[in-house]
Structures are given as C-alpha cells and as structure tokens.
Structure 1
Amino acid sequence: MIEEAVTSARVMFTGYLKLDEYYDYLHKLFVWLGYEVNEVLYRHKERADGKKEIELVWECIKDVDSYTRFKINVNLFIGGIVKAEVVKDGKKVKMEKCDTDLKLKAKVVKDYKNHFENAFLKPFKYLYERVWYKATLDTWRGKLEEELIKIENEMKAFLNLQGIRVK
C-alpha cells in the first residue's frame, strides 16, 4: 500500500458560530461525498482562563475501485471557546466565540488491498502503475483534488452564512 499526497487545504475562522452545527455540517459533507469517517482523536480541554479548546482528527476513506482509495486527513482545532449571546438578524442567538483552524490533506492510496505484494506479482507493479493504469490514476488524482476544493468551498460558505466574523 502506497500513500501519495495529492493536495491540501486550510480554512481558518475567527468569530461567533454554533460549534455543534459546524461539526455536524463537516461530518455530513464527508458522508454525502461517500466517505467513511473514522474519528482518530477527540480532545476537549478547559484552560485556566476558563476558555475551552477542542482538537479532533478524522481519517476519511473512500474506495474508488479495487486498486485505489481516497484518504483525507482532517485536523480541526477550535480554540478560545467562550459561550456568548449575539444579535443575528434581529434575534438574540446563543453561539460560541472561537478561533477555528481546519486542515485537510488529501492522499491517493494505491494497492490498498495489497494485490502486488506476493513475490510473483511484485515486479509487475511498476509496469501496471506507470503504463496500464497511469491514465486512471491521473483521473483519480484530479477527482480527489476537485473533491477537496469542494469541501473547502462548502466550509467557507457555511462559515460565511452561519458565522459572524470578528476582525
């Protein structure tokens, strides 16, 4: 199994938002795109000054064919969380003031089922990936890049619609 980095993205936000809606939207977005979301780490910490921090790491996996798999590593850090009440569209709304940092790293995983790991087929792996399967791999790389851009744009749109930025 070989992991090949394709692209990465980062979405940062400082302001007010509903964290539960942010988390749900991000999770549903990956599920909607066909990914299996595995939560690797969830850390919730309260600092001495009363502010909270949340750190989570997801490994999102989607099998695209019997040889290739998409893998997106999600690192989300939310710091300085303080409950607040703000006026949005003329109504008082309970939100959290926070700083968010969402990092996404996309990888193509080749031969995830280890088809070429036996001694007889191993010499053909290079030929398979560089000649017969090259165009397909290039197509998958492009599709993964498009999906990561879509996720990045969706999260930016969510923050622009639901959040209140602090300058």
Structure 2
Amino acid sequence: MQEDMVKIISDKDGKQLVLINDIKFKTRRTIDWKMVESYLKEYIGNHYEILETSEKVYVGSDFPDEFCHANDKMKLKGANAKAKANMVTAIEELISIATNKSTDEDYEQKHKQKAKYGWYRYDTRFGIPTYDSEGEITKYNVYTARILVRCDSDGKLYLYDLVRTKKETSSPPEQ
C-alpha cells in the first residue's frame, strides 16, 4: 500500500507534476463515467488555490457534468480516457500546480451566462502508475491537461473542465 496516494513532485527539469497512486478506474475497457461524475460531486462547493497566481478556484455544480459529458471527453480513447478518469482523485493538487495562465474569449458566445467575464486556461501535469505482474508500480506515464476556468458574474473563478488530456512523450519518472 502506498503511503501517499497523491503527491506533488518536481521532475528532472524542475517542473511540478502530481503523482496519482489511487487508481479508482482500473478497467481496460469502457470507463463508467456515471461513477466518475458521482465521485466528482463530492468536490462541489470546495475551493483550491493556484499557487503560481494565488487565485482561488471554486468547484461549481456544473463541473461534474461538463467533465464527464463534454465533447473533449467524447474524443478520448484508451489510455488518455483512463488518465482523465483517474485524475479525479487529485483535483486539488492539479489546480495547485497550474501554470501558464492564459485568457480566452467565450468562443461562439455559447457560454455567455456561465462565463460572463471570459475564461482562463492553465496547464497542469500528472502521472499515472504502470504495474508489473505482481502489482508493483514500475513507472509512471506522465500526462498533460488544460484546466478550463470560467470567470463568473459574481467575480469568482469556477473550475469548468480539464481538457486536452494527453500523454507526454518525455521519459517517465521511475518509482
């Protein structure tokens, strides 16, 4: 059993990433996104700080549905879908290490009410373990994702989705 189910480390280049050892969705087949959505509902009402910018990001009631049913998730297959599902155990840590803030307009004006003051996007990174035949961790596959945050009319920032989950091609950290 791992002591730390989720921890933040720095890679050899000094960039932070979240190691996730609590693999909730182990299936090699279809992910049960209803279970993922149910798990994410536990975060509603919480807020977490982005260390780089000292901004508070709240988790609104729209986050679980968007995370599990948006177009971005529908395009994911295989390991990337499994990685997206398993990042849910580390929402706080993924937000805290977010970097490279950028501002975006509301594309196609389809979220006028939800993001009255536009969108912020941040980069984040995480590692998911791979196991040997005895169930021991052998290495981590590292993934990147974009955190999508909406700027609401109440002046608060709300986590809206984590998108573009993609495996990095760099060397994974060893156990």
Is the TM-score greater than 0.5? no
Q: Between Structure 1 and Structure 2, which shows a larger proportion of helix residues? A: 1
Q: Between Structure 1 and Structure 2, which shows a larger proportion of strand residues? A: 1
Which of 1 and 2 has higher RCO (CA within 8 Å, sep 6+)?
A: 1
Relative to the length of structure 2, the TM-score reads 0.29
Q: Which of the two has higher C-alpha Rg?
A: 1
Relative to the length of structure 1, the TM-score reads 0.30
